[in-house]
Chain A
C-alpha cells in the first residue's frame, strides 16, 4: 500500500490541479466570452459529449494510424538510406544537397502540395509524417553507424564474421542508442506532421476535429482536440522511452 502511495507523482498532480483551478478562475472572472476562453467545465462537457458519441475515439484512432504508418515508413526508409550513406562517402556527397534542401523547406509549406498530389485521404498525412520523421532518424542512423568502434570491426573480422553478421551483431546493436535518440525526436515531430496534413484538407482526424471546432466557434471542442493531441504525443513519447529503457538496459543508469 505504501509502495503505491509513493509511486503516485503527488507534486505533478497538485500542479495540474492548481493549473486547472487558475484556468477556471480566469475564465469565470475575466469576463472573456466563451468562444475565446471556455472554462474547464465547458471543456469537460464537450469532452464527455465527444467521448459519448465516439467521435473523439474515432478521430484519435485515425490520427494515430496516420502517425504509426508514417513512422514505420519514415523510419524504415531513413535507416536503410542512413546505413548506405554511413557506408559510402560518395553516396553521401551525391545525396546530401537533396537531403539538406529537403530540410530547408518547412513541412508546412509543402503539405498543401502533397495533399494536392495524394488527395485529402490518409495517404497524404502518412507521407507528411514519414517525411518529417525521415531526417532526424536518417542523421542519427548515419552518426550511429559511423560511431561503431573500429576495434569492434577488427574483432568481428578476426573471427571471420560475414557482412550480414557484422550488420546484425555489431552495427545494429552498437548504433541503437543514437538511433533511438532520433526516434524520440521523430515521434513528437510526427504528431505535428499528421496535424499539419489534416489542417490542410481532411475529413477525419484530430486536426480535422480541431478545425471543425474552430469553424463552428466551438472553442471547447478545439481544447478537447488539443488535449487529445497532447496525450497522444505523450503516450507515443512514453512508448519510445520505454522501448529505449528495455533495449538499452546495458547502459549506465542516468
Chain B
C-alpha cells in the first residue's frame, strides 16, 4: 500500500444549530485514507455516519477541522445513497450516464462507458427499463454503476444496502466486493452491520453514539477475494466480536 494518503481528515467536528446550544453530531474525528483502500465506518444510528459522508462529498460544511484531499483539491466523487435515488423519468442506461452527461462527454463515448458499467454490475437486458420496473437490488446496482461511471477518485457508500432484504443484501456484498476488485477504487462506506463491514472493508473504524468519535480502528486482515463462507471462519468471528464489544 502506498504511503501517501489520498485523503486526510483532521479534528473534524460538526455541530447542528438547535435551541439549546447546538447538536454535536461529530466530535474531533481524524483519519487518513490511502489510495485503493476500502474503509468502513461502523456505528449505531445517530453516530453521525451519514453526516461524515455528506461532509466528504461537500454537501455539508464542517463546523471545525479540515478535510484535505491530497492529490487534487476537488476530487471527483461517486456516491451511493441509502435509497437508490434514481431519476424515475430516465431509463437504466440514462440514469447510469448522468454523471458523464454533466461533464459534457460526447454521446458515443457515454454509450460505451455506460455499457461497460451495465456489464460490470450485471444489468444486461435491463438497459431500457424504467426504474419503477426494477427490484430494490437491481435499482441499487444501477446506483453503483452511476457512482462509478465518471471514474471518481473516491466512492462514498451511505448504507447502500440498508433498504434491501437480508438475502439480497448478502448477495450484493459479494457483488460489491467483486466490483471493487475490478475497479480498484478508494471506498469509504458507512454501515451499522458488523458483517457487512468485515466482509467488505480493509479497515473498520467504529464510531461512538452521538457525538460520533472514533473509538476503534481495526485492520481487517482477511484474505481476498472474499467468498461468502469467510463469514464462518474463526478469524472473522474474532474480529466481529471485537467490533461488537466496541459498539455501545
> Could you say which interface size class chain B belongs to?
20 to 34
Secondary structure of the B contact surface, majority rule:
loop
Please, what's the 1-or-0 string for B77-109, where 1 marks a CB less than 8 Å from any CB in chain A? 111010101011111000000110110000000
Which residues of A162-200 are within 8 A (CB) of B? 162, 165, 169-170, 173-174, 176
| Chain A positions within 8 Å of B74 at CB level | 160
Tell me, in angstroms, the Cα distance from A165 to B87 when the chains sit together: 14
Q: Is B203 an interface residue (CB 8 A)?
A: no
Q: Is A161 an interface residue (CB 8 A)?
A: yes
Contact between chains at A158 and B89 (CB < 8 Å): no
Q: Is B1 an interface residue (CB 8 A)?
A: no
A252-B79 in contact given A151-B85, A159-B98 (Cβ < 8 Å): no
Contact between chains at A173 and B87 (CB < 8 Å): yes
Please, what's the 1-or-0 string for B123-154, where 1 marks a CB less than 8 Å from any CB in chain A? 00000001110000000000000000010000
Contact between chains at B89 and A151 (CB < 8 Å): no
| Chain B positions within 8 Å of A252 at CB level | 132
| Chain A positions within 8 Å of B15 at CB level | none
Give which listed residue, A152, A160, A250, contacts B132 with CB less than 8 A: A250
The tally of residues in A whose CB lies under 8 Å from a CB in B reads 22
Which residues of B154-169 are within 8 A (CB) of A? 156
In the complex, which of the residues A160, A161, A162 has the most CB atoms of chain B within 10 Å of its own CB atom?
A160
| Chain A positions within 8 Å of B58 at CB level | 157-158
In the complex, which of the residues A158, A160, A252 has the most CB atoms of chain B within 10 Å of its own CB atom?
A158
Q: Is B57 an interface residue (CB 8 A)?
A: yes
Cβ-Cβ contact count across A and B, 8 Å cutoff: 60
| Chain B positions within 8 Å of A169 at CB level | 98, 101-102
| Chain B positions within 8 Å of A158 at CB level | 57-59, 77-79, 156
Of all chain B residues, the one with the shortest Cβ separation from A156 is B102
Q: Is A4 an interface residue (CB 8 A)?
A: no
A159-B89 in contact given A151-B81, A169-B101, A252-B132 (Cβ < 8 Å): no
Tell me, in angstroms, the Cα distance from A251 to B88 when the chains sit together: 8
Which residues of A126-166 are within 8 A (CB) of B? 149, 151-152, 154-162, 165
**How far does the Cβ of A254 sit from chain B's closest Cβ, in whole Å?**
13
Tell me, in angstroms, the Cα distance from A155 to B83 when the chains sit together: 11
Ranked nearest first, the 4 interchain pairs of A and B with the lowest CB-CB distance are A158-B79, A159-B99, A250-B89, A158-B57
Write the residues of chain A forming the contact surface with B, with a CB cutoff of 8 angstroms. Answer: 149, 151-152, 154-162, 165, 169-170, 173-174, 176, 248, 250-252
Write the residues of chain B forming the contact surface with A, with a CB cutoff of 8 angstroms. Answer: 54, 57-59, 74, 76-79, 81, 83, 85, 87-91, 98-99, 101-102, 130-132, 150, 156
Give 29 pairs: A residue, B residue, CB < 8 Å, sorted on A: A151-B81, A152-B85, A154-B57, A154-B81, A154-B85, A156-B102, A157-B57, A157-B58, A158-B57, A158-B58, A158-B59, A158-B77, A158-B78, A158-B79, A159-B76, A159-B99, A159-B102, A161-B102, A169-B101, A170-B87, A173-B89, A174-B87, A248-B89, A250-B88, A250-B89, A250-B90, A250-B91, A251-B88, A251-B132
